[in-house]
Structure 1
Amino acid sequence: MKIKILITGSNGLLGQNLIELFLKDTKNYEIFGFSRGENRSGRTDFEYQDIDITNQQLLAKKTKQIKPNFIINTAAMTNVDACENDKVGCYDLNVNVVQYLAAICSEINAHLIHISTDFIFDGKKGNYTEDAVPNPLSYYGETKLLSEAVLQKSAINYTILRTILVYGLVNDMSRSNIVLWVKESLERNKEITIVDDQFRTPTYVEDLALACKISIDKKATGIFNISSNQLLSIYEIAQEIAEVFQLDKTLIKPISTSTLNQTAPRPPITGFDLTKTNKILSFYPKSFKEDLQRFKQKLI
């Protein structure tokens, strides 16, 4: 009996990576994708539906027709400043949709895998464990924390994967990410300014997709941290990108966060403790530099 997996936000960076990963094993998995607009994955060997998942009745109807064993919810409003400017839209996608999915999962006995973020923390300490006390600084962080609470209060089987600064490349991307933006800017010999007082452990999208699959295969429940294993400033991240892709580092200029006047505040230092992920998922993320080398091989 094949495991049925429904991926919401299947056109996105993580969504497309999940499709590629699971379609390598069509003997064991049957894949369904929900997203807005046309199927952008370039794959036709799975069932795709153009659907507005904020429509509760439509989402329930279409999901119950499939009766998935697992739902991986990758859909979210993640532009931190846009969330601050459109709180209604942000809440709708980041919280209401999770409530709808939890209710559906309860009805059809499905397991929900949900993606969360380091932005639920205030960034005063860094190296956060799964049970560290959250204190979001932005509306985006607030909604992601509320979405976690929805699942924790529910009686369904759920897995929350918290992640940081996801990057990678897929077919027909709707938005860029830190690695592609730095790489493409430097390739054009464009000078860029990067903050040197925010610290992160970036996540290669293939690792996040693999963590979703491991969670399914192990039927792991609860909260897990997924990111690379070395804390770097965003300026250092840009320097590493230049080094790995053999581009001109001198084009990267450090600046402080205070000079940016961003709409939403960002946590200064995040990064994750990966002990629980290592122990329970048997998953051992590598350094950003090692992940970048893997990414570079994929681009060749």
Structure 2
Amino acid sequence: MKILVTGSNGLVGSYVVQQLLEAGHTVFASSRTEDRSAFKAPNYRFVQMDFTDPYALDAAFEAIQPEVVVHSGAQSKPDDCEKDQAEAYRVNTVGTVQLLLNAAACRSFFIFLSTDFIFNGKEGMHGEQDPADPVNYYGRTKLEAEEAVQEYAHGWAVVRTVFVYGKPLHGRDCFVTMISKKLRDREPYKVVDDQERTPTYAGDLAKGIAAIIEKRAPGIFHLCGEDVLSPYRMAMKVAEYMGIADHLLEPVTTASLHAVAKRPLKSGLDVSRAKQLLGYRPLSFQEGLQRTLGG
């Protein structure tokens, strides 16, 4: 099967590409920047492409004719989205709409990567049908993109996920590997302790997306971990795993950080639907930690 993956240089995109290559699909990885991967599989292709450029998209879709599109590219930093709302809307919302238009011409099955930040975080453990109420601009752009995807006529799935981590296949650190370096260097660091999340191992997320493709499963799916942890508790588990007790990590409140973008405080997701329909079985955070930091 020919599958186009956007955002392939990112953590999520790289794990999705790896999973789909292993499943035997022909994968066209794409990113705005040059290929950072070391993938050598014969079924791997790379297309340098800005998905917000309609001319580049027209050329790519005409050449590839993808049967499936996995759209994981995004402006995903909430503070950056809040500071430059026009750019966030252009990338996250308009870019998705443009991809949908091109995908429709090929009748591609469309999978959109979304976020727990479409919810306000007052209750936590949100189900797929819970009402959305984003508290920051990043969440608003992703919600509007979701709404556009749900109008798509040729088969779609929306995948919401939470706080993804994993050993970087290429590119920058994730939260877990960043914390491990600060622990090794005995660097002081403030970590939020009043936000509840359900952190997601990137390999689990990629397997869930592969299952959606295999089953052509439509609709909204929550794919994340099941352990409810604050970022500080995650950091403490990293310290415990590394055997470092004399760390300089400090628990702080969300309010004390004065972030540009507001964060939901209870933003975990319920994965019951994915477990039932996709056979989704996420690792525990401890298991994911071992795969991220182990040998």
Q: TM (normalized to structure 1)?
A: 0.94
Distance 1:170 1:176, change over 3 A: closer
> Which of 37, 57, 63 is 1:41 aligned to?
37
**Could you say which residue in structure 1 is the equivalent of 2:113?**
115
> Which of 132, 140, 148 is 1:150 aligned to?
148
RMSD: 1.4
In 2: Cα distance, 1:270 partner to 1:17 partner: 23
Letter of the 1:245 partner, please give it.
M
Name structure 1 gaps, 5 residues minimum. Answer: none
Q: Deviations for 1:195-236, whole angstroms, at most 9, x for unmatched residues?
A: 111110111111111111111011111111111101112211
Confirm whether residue 180 of structure 1 aligns to residue 161 of structure 2.
Answer: no
In 1: Cα distance, 2:164 partner to 2:174 partner: 7
In 1: Cα distance, 2:244 partner to 2:58 partner: 49
Letter of the 2:133 partner, please give it.
N
Which stretch shows the higher mean deviation, 160-169 or 36-45? 36-45
Aligned-residue offset at 1:24: 2.1
Q: Deviations for 1:166-199, whole angstroms, at most 9, x for unmatched residues?
A: 11233431x3321011111001011221111111
**Could you say which residue in structure 1 is the equivalent of 2:186?**
189
Q: TM (normalized to structure 2)?
A: 0.95
Are the aligned partners of 1:71 and 1:112 in contact in 2 as well (CA < 8 Å)?
A: yes
In 1: Cα distance, 2:220 partner to 2:137 partner: 21
Q: Deviations for 1:93-115, whole angstroms, at most 9, x for unmatched residues?
A: 11111111211222211001110
In 2: Cα distance, 1:291 partner to 1:68 partner: 32
Matches within 5 A, 1:1-300: 3-26=1-24, 29-45=25-41, 46-173=44-171, 175-248=172-245, 250-297=247-294, 300=295
- Give percent identity, aligned residues only: 34
Distance 1:180 1:158, change over 3 A: same
Secondary structure of the residue aligned to 2:150 is helix
In 2: Cα distance, 1:168 partner to 1:130 partner: 24
Letter of the 2:55 partner, please give it.
Q
Are the aligned partners of 1:242 and 1:249 in contact in 2 as well (CA < 8 Å)?
A: no
In 2: Cα distance, 1:160 partner to 1:197 partner: 28
Are the aligned partners of 2:6 and 2:72 in contact in 1 as well (CA < 8 Å)?
A: yes
Are the aligned partners of 2:183 and 2:247 in contact in 1 as well (CA < 8 Å)?
A: no
Number of aligned residue pairs:
293
In 1: Cα distance, 2:289 partner to 2:104 partner: 39
